Structure 1
Amino acid sequence: MLTIIFYTKENCSLCDDAKAILQLLQSDYTFAIEERDIYTKDEWLEEYQLVIPFVQINDIGIDCEQMSIKALEKALKMYL
């Protein structure tokens, strides 16, 4: 099963919106979501603090500027 890595943090409305989109897409596509709070690892905080929410689908990364249902669905279709 495909696992999507979702970099997020607490109290982030953009992250909440991205999570809702991912959950909506789960009704049409089979994948798991692995949430990673960027404040639990220094490397994640350094790399993602300015671009969260950030979704990693295999070698495709979608940051807060690109985040949309269209972008996520297009990336999912490449692997499912």
Structure 2
Amino acid sequence: MQNILDAMSVLRTLCRSSAEQLLRPFSTKSLPTLTLFTKDPCPLCDEAKEVLEPLKHRFVLQQVDISLPENKLWWDRYKWDIPVFHLNGQFLMKHRVNLGLLEKLLQDIEKQQT
């Protein structure tokens, strides 16, 4: 525990956002879940994951392959719309990543946790 406290003391001298990123593994707060409904192949899904790369430390990415038999419900709902994203179980966006919207919602979640 003392090692963690010492590390936190050193990190306070760093930029606030950098310190938060480095301390995240020690945080008791859980990251929001961003669910990607996808199938293979899905070039738009691959593109969307690349767009999400700068924010990936702020959420857990869960992928759901809608082509699997156990995901028939999602296939029926999203077969023409992938990629589709849900944030913490709620529909967020489809077809393309809206970074502005995702950033705003992640900030809201992070503020609620502080």
Q: What range describes the TM-score normalised by the shorter chain of this pair?
A: 0.7 to 0.9
Match of 1:33 among 32, 39, 61: 61
Q: What is the rounded CA distance, in whole Å, between the counterparts of 1:60 and 1:38 in structure 2? A: 15
Larger Rg: 2
Identify which of 44, 49, 69 aligns with 1:19: 49
**How many aligned residue pairs are there?**
77
Distance 2:94 2:38 in 1: 11
State the Cα RMSD in Å.
1.7
Hey, what's the Cα distance between the residues in 2 that align with 1:57 and 1:71? 11
Q: Structure with the greater relative contact order (CA < 8 A, sep ≥ 6): 1 or 2?
A: 1
Higher normalized strand content (fraction of residues): 1
Q: Counting helix residues as a fraction of each chain, which structure ranks higher?
A: 2
- Matches of 2:85 and 2:37 in 1, distance apart? 6
Unpaired stretches in structure 2, ≥5 consecutive residues? 1-29
Task: Report what 2:87 is aligned to.
Answer: 57
Distance 2:35 2:50 in 1: 15
